[in-house]
Amino acid sequence: MNADFKKIINSIQTKQYAPVYLIDGEEPYYLDILTHAFEHNILPPAERDFNLTILYGKDSEWADVVNACRRFPMFAEKQVVILKDAAQLKGFNDLAGYLEKPSPTTIFLIENRFKKADGRSKVIKFAKEKGFYFTSDKIRDDHMPNWIQNYGTEIGFEIGEREAQVLATYLGNDLQKIVNEIGKVRINVPDEKALTGAMIQKYIGISREYNIFEFPEALTSGDHDKLYRMLAYFVANPKSSPMPLVIGSFYTHFNRLYQANFLIGKPEKDALAALGTYPSKLKEIMGTARNWPLPRVEYCLMLIGKYSTMAVGIKNIADDRELLKEMIGKMVG
């Protein structure tokens, strides 16, 4: 979780309010959490009718916003003014005059949704000097599994590495959607402490049998019936498994087996640290590594590199389905 986000949450929880808060960025999830907190967690319900003002950039002039901030609270020590969609406010930069000398009795939140404010502007300068500034950036796709696992830790619901990868692959990087889907599972199984593949399949609708993270495991486990059943499914449903995702799944799996080959015979704690996994998964990985010696793993990694370049059209005219069948055939053979 971003340190600036934590500072703002702590400011609200400890009632150590600043006169100005500016939040912006392309990821709405954290902006929604903060805006909700300003609306509901600062003023008691009895004071909100008189001392909570919500303005929208497209419907307001900068002078309207400043006038709202300059007025005194009624029957209370503080008032809250929230400017939503500030990017659409005409004269946004003119707010700098107020931010330079903000009212001590006003808690002013500027929400600049879906874009960053101009970092060179005096609005940003004074927001940082007088209060707090937070940018909510989109989470990169390759960081999503880690984000999902951290979120699980925050809410007391263990989410394993594989389950996090499945959610990230099939739900994308829409944080609110992911949170909603995990919440759906917890409503249905409130006493469970960890997310399982069966829960994902039952309550979210993502098939465990046909997810790309099971695919390389079916190959290295020697379960050829499952492997060819999955291959047939992915060939028939290419949109459910774009070749780059399949390649990424195979690379992650074989790269881990490559590392595991050097850890055979090492203490469990060293292997756990090196592979960044948990004990039950470690046992599975090391068991597979013993059956897949280093030369065979290196050969598969070489094939993955080759087909990765072919998948983006380098020295290749075949479609993804043909590439997938060819790559699996060479790995099995």
Q: What is the CATH number of the domain that holds 42?
A: 3.40.50.300
Based on its alpha-carbon atoms, the radius of gyration of the chain, rounded to whole angstroms, reads 26
CA-nearest of 130, 150, 121, 114 to 11 is 130
Nearest in space to 75 (alpha carbons), one of 44, 99, 101, 47: 47
- Give the per-residue pLDDT at 303: 95
Residue 322 domain-assigned (yes or no): yes
Q: Quick one: 130 and 199 in the same domain? A: no
3-state SS string for the chain: CCHHHHHHHHHHHCCCCCCEEEEEECCHHHHHHHHHHHHHCCCCHHHHHHHEEEEEHHHCEHHHHHHHHHCCCCCCCCEEEEEECHHHCECHHHHHHHHHCCCCCEEEEEEEECECCCCCCHHHHHHHHHCEEEECCCCCHHHHHHHHHHHHHHHCCEECHHHHHHHHHHHCCCHHHHHHHHHHHHHHCCCCCEECHHHHHHHHCCCCCCCCCCHHHHHHHCCHHHHHHHHHHHHHCHHHCCHHHHHHHHHHHHHHHHHHHCCCCCCHHHHHHHHCCCHHHHHHHHHHHHHCCHHHHHHHHHHHHHHHHHHCCCCCCCCHHHHHHHHHHHHHC
Task: Compute the C-alpha angle 76/82/87, nearest 5°.
Answer: 160
Q: Are residues 129 and 147 in the same domain?
A: no
Give a yes or no: residue 193 inside a domain: yes
Strand partners, 314: none
Angle at 157 between CA 278 and CA 13, to 5 degrees: 120
Q: Residues 226, 315: one domain?
A: yes
CATH number at residue 308: 1.20.272.10
* Structural domain ending residue among the three candidates 135, 153, 178: 135
Q: Are residues 53 and 26 in the same domain?
A: yes
Q: Write down the pLDDT at residue 116.
A: 82
Cα–Cα separations (whole angstroms), residue 105 to 72, 102, 108, 156: 7, 9, 10, 38
Between the CA atoms of 291, 321, 325 and 232, what dihedral angle is there, to the nearest 10 degrees? 80
Q: Answer whether 208's CB lies under 8 Å from 214's CB.
A: yes
pLDDT at 1: 57
Same domain membership, residue 246 and residue 227: yes
Global pTM exceeds 0.95: no
Q: Which of 135, 165, 190 is the last residue of a domain?
A: 135
> What residue numbers bound the domain in which 114 lies?
3-135
- 309 token code pair: 């370049």
| CA separation for the pair 204, 224 (Å, rounded) | 28
Q: Looking at residue 25, what is its pLDDT?
A: 92
pLDDT in tens, 263-292: 999 999 999 888 877 777 789 899 999 999
Please count the other Cβ atoms lying within 10 Å of the Cβ belonging to residue 118: 13
For residues 199 and 158, give the distance between their C-alpha atoms in angstroms, rounded to a whole number. 13
Question: What tens digit of pLDDT does each residue of 145-180 get?
Answer: 889 999 999 999 999 888 888 888 778 788 999 999
- The confidence score (pLDDT) of residue 259 equals 95
Q: Which regions of the chain are under pLDDT 50?
A: none
Same domain, 300 and 221: yes
Packed helices 224-236 and 320-332: angle between N→C axes, nearest 10 degrees: 170
- For residue 210, is it within any domain? no
Q: Quickly count: other Cβ atoms within 10 Å of residue 76's Cβ.
A: 16
Last-in-domain residue among 204, 223, 246: 204
